[in-house]
Amino acid sequence: MSPNHRKILFVIDALSFGGGERVFAQIINGLDPVKYEIFLASQQSDHFYSVISNKQVQFIPLDFSKRINPALIFKLAKIIKKNEIQIIHGQGTRAEFYARLASRLAGKSWYISATAAPVKGFNVSETRKRIYQLLDGFSERFVDRFIVVSDAQKEKMIKERHIPQEKVVRIYNGIEMESFLCDRDAGLKIRKELGLKEDNILIGAIGRLVWEKGFEYLIQSIPDVIKVYPNVKILIVGEGPLKERLEAQGERLKVNDHLIFTGFRSDIKEILSVIDILVIPSILEGFPMITLEGMAMTKPIIATKIVGITEQITDGESGLLVPSRDSNALTKAINRLINDRGLALRLGMNARQKAEMEFSVIKMITETEKIYLSLCDVKVG
């Protein structure tokens, strides 16, 4: 094998398509197939596989659907040995537990853990959260580098989990800037699909309908927004376990005429083209991709002042930040941007510039590749 030809195995459960799968696809697509031989071990997923454009990737379908499946440890170890894998890059608590143990069992490879979201934000029972934390804590000793998505997360890993500083690297998620440009025709088509009138102002919120996204506080703000601007419509895009509860909340507040639930949509760029203001009312986040997408689309953004988002948005410069769980603050910020279109335009333009400088996919891939190369240049064990 040429010294410039390195073998990398990506491991992720891919039981759904989210930010982790998207980032892995971005990295895989961005790596030079002449320099790297790339393997992907995951649940077989048509959606995930379809976004991987690198035709040299060797797909290895594995069944991650079972909560307990020790056989995966031995299957992964066999894959690592057979293909002489040098770097294992894993993500997701379930997949990582098996992959970390397999890397130790197989030996002669380096392990990189992509740590995106805190376990406490998982949409599972408290018992399962504790189990995940125990498994994560036990297996993290086999990790050579942790990639985190924010400085706050890096500090927490070092101070609270006592991970050596040299093992933790912060790399911001990236967005494909060239792909996120407003499409007026697509926007007009969606406005027609949604039954919007020409004078409707569209406030959009996008994400899974789970407690940590804070959509209930956006809905709570609607009555006071429409008192001032009765032509406002609120668009909530996504699926999740809280859908019925959120719809019932809209009914109790008698704002359903102003509230549109679309369910899951794959045309997020087109959705962003049509909205006037993007609201991210989250309670807990890692480093949300929807913020970067909105920034790339020059949208004025209102978001909560929480860890992760505060490294994306600078209050008053590239968006407006409000306290989490505060519907009154959301109301004031929404009304402010509707009233001051000059401010909204300036925030959107500044957001695009910041995304270009700090959150490009090219920058993310380059920084990730530096980790691969630094480890490959050192012999294992």
What token pair was written down for 71? Answer: 């056989």
The answer to whether residue 184 is domain-embedded is yes
Q: Check whether residue 296 and residue 365 sit in a common domain.
A: no
Q: Determine what percent of the chain falls in helix, strand and coil, rounding each to the nearest 5.
A: 50, 20, 35
Residue-level pLDDT at 371 = 96
Residue 120 has pLDDT above 60, yes or no: no
Domain-located, residue 1:
no
In a domain, 381, yes or no: no
| Residues 139 and 200 occupy one common structural domain | no
Task: Give me the helices (H) in 194-340, please.
Answer: 215-228, 243-252, 268-274, 289-296, 327-339
Considering the domain architecture, whether residues 329 and 372 belong to the same structural domain is answered as: no
How many Å apart are CA 121 and CA 287, to the nearest integer?
A: 13
How far apart, in whole angstroms, are the C-alpha atoms of residue 146 and residue 299?
32
Inside any domain, residue 20? yes
* 324 falls within a domain: yes
Query: Is residue 217 in some structural domain?
Result: yes
Asked, for residue 194, whether it belongs to a domain, the answer is yes
> 90-99: b or e for each residue (b if 16 or more CB lie within 10 Å)?
bbbbbbbbbb
Between residues 379 and 287, the one the model is more confident about? 287
Alpha carbons 269 and 183: distance in angstroms, whole number: 8
| Number of independent structural domains in the chain | 2
Q: What is the pLDDT of residue 123?
A: 54
Rounded to whole angstroms, the Cα distance separating 87 from 376 reads 8
Name the burial class of residue 1, with classes exposed (0-12), middle (13-18) and buried (19+) by CB atoms within 10 angstroms of its CB.
exposed
Are 246 and 352 in a shared domain? yes
Q: What is the pLDDT of residues 11-28, one digit of tens each?
A: 999 888 877 898 999 999
Judge if 117 and 193 occupy the same domain: no
Whether 330 is covered by a domain: the verdict is yes
* Residue pLDDT, tens place only, 197-241: 989 999 999 999 999 999 999 999 999 999 999 999 999 999 999
Residue 381 has pLDDT above 60, yes or no: no
Grade residue 7 by pLDDT with cuts at 50, 70 and 90: very high
Same domain, 17 and 153: yes
Q: Whole-number mean pLDDT of the chain?
A: 91
Write down the pLDDT at residue 177: 87
Percent of the chain with pLDDT over 70: 94
125 in the same domain as 28: yes
User: Looking at the structure, do residues 200 and 184 belong to the same domain, yes or no?
Assistant: yes
Task: Identify the domain containing residue 50 by its residue range.
Answer: 6-174+361-376
Residues 167 and 243 in one domain: no
Q: Does the pLDDT at position 124 exceed 60?
A: no
Q: What is the spatial distance between Cα 92 and Cα 136, in angstroms, rounded to a whole number?
A: 10
**Mean pLDDT calculated for residue range 166-191:** 88
Check whether residue 228 and residue 290 sit in a common domain: yes
Indicate whether this model's pTM tops 0.75.
yes
Confidence class for position 1, pLDDT limits 50, 70, 90:
very low
**Co-location of 164 and 243 in the same domain:** no
Higher per-residue confidence, 214 vs 265:
214
Using one digit for the tens of pLDDT, what is the confidence trace for 23-76?
A: 999 999 999 999 999 999 999 988 899 999 998 999 999 999 987 899 999 999
Whether residues 119 and 137 share a domain: the answer is yes
Instruction: Give the domain CATH number at 212.
Output: 3.40.50.2000
